[in-house]
Amino acid sequence: AQTVTQSQPEMSVQEAETVTLSCTYDTSESDYYLFWYKQPPSRQMILVIRQEAYKQQNATENRFSVNFQKAAKSFSLKISDSQLGDAAMYFCAYRSAERDDKIIFGKGTRLHILP
């Protein structure tokens, strides 16, 4: 079974600095999707960025980018120029592209932004 591991329960970063959130996953599949979701205090989960495993180019969305290392099964999220509104829980998630299956989430990393 696939698993998603986020080894950092909490992180802090100074406003305007850069922070990287770690995520590793375990799968025997070669085709899949990876996601980062953000959950602010409002509890509303928001998709931040997604990556398709067969694409070697790392996905980027404005200040958010990923470092996708398929062989290492690593999918880290980099947030540049951190802003107070980035404070939230961040969840890494996996979904198979080979089978109809649900999205599997990690336990999350709580990110604090220090003014």
Q: Does 43 bind other proteins (CB under 8 A)?
A: yes
Q: Does 16 bind other proteins (CB under 8 A)?
A: no
Nearer to other proteins, 68 or 91 (CB): 91
Q: Does 33 bind other proteins (CB under 8 A)?
A: yes
Q: Does 79 bind other proteins (CB under 8 A)?
A: no
Considering only 28, 42, 56, 57, the residue that binds other proteins (CB under 8 A) is 42
Residue 56: partners with Cβ closer than 8 Å, 6 or more residues away? 68, 70
With CA atoms as reference, report the closest residue to 76 among 88, 85, 64, 84.
Answer: 64
DSSP structural state of residue 58:
P
Q: Report in angstroms how near the CB of residue 20 gets to other proteins at its nearest.
A: 19
* Spacing of C-alpha 4 from chain mean position: 10
Q: Report in angstroms how near the CB of residue 74 gets to other proteins at its nearest.
A: 18
Task: List residues bridging with 110 in a β-sheet.
Answer: 10, 89
Binding mask 85-104 for other proteins (x = CB under 8 A): ------x---x----xxxxx
Q: Does 105 bind other proteins (CB under 8 A)?
A: yes
Nearer to other proteins, 64 or 105 (CB): 105
| Cβ(33)–Cβ(51) below 8 Å | yes
* Spacing of C-alpha 114 from chain mean position: 21
